[in-house]
């Protein structure tokens, strides 16, 4: 499968992760989900592997701006629909090594996940 980093170029944390990966000479594919549609199967895989609660970014301005009724009805199905409609609701960046699935950026966690890649 290879290593894939998901995010969008305007995000500071995604830029930090990309710089770190580049500085380490890591081989990875970058998927900008603002430039290409995110495959629903990808989101389904993240949900299976990590749980929808870990994928959904409840701290984002986009989430905070949602109507309270929408937040109150939140479950896996609703979260999936919301994420596919608005990718700002994904914790980012997402690093998928095929084995490890990381949300956010921490250099130590990335280094550990990329050992042997």
Q: By the 8 A CB rule, do 91 and 104 touch? A: yes
Q: Which of 11, 66, 74, 84 is catalytic?
A: 11
CA angle 93, 66, 53 (to 5 degrees): 45
* Structure tokens belonging to residue 93: 């960046």
How far apart (Å, rounded) are the C-alpha atoms in residues 65 and 99?
A: 34
Task: Report how far residue 98's alpha carbon sits from residue 49's, in angstroms, rounded to the nearest whole number.
Answer: 10
Is 11 tagged catalytic? Answer: yes
User: Is residue 84 within a helix (H) or strand (E), and if so which, with residue range?
Assistant: helix 76-85
By DSSP bridging, strand 4-7 and strand 94-96 are antiparallel
- Catalytic site residues? 11
């Amino acid at each position: 499968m290879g290593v894939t980093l998901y995010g969008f170029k305007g995000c500071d944390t995604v830029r930090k992760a990309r710089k770190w990966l580049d500085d380490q000479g890591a081989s990875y594919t970058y998927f900008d989900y603002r430039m290409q549609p995110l495959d629903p199967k990808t989101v389904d895989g993240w949900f299976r592997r990590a749980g929808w609660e870990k994928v959904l970014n409840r701290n984002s301005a986009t989430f905070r701006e949602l109507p309270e009724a929408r937040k109150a009805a939140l479950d896996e199905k609703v979260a999936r629909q919301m994420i596919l409609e608005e990718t700002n609701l994904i914790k980012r960046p997402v690093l998928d090594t095929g084995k490890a699935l990381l949300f956010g950026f921490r250099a130590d966690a990335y280094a550990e996940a990329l050992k042997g890649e």
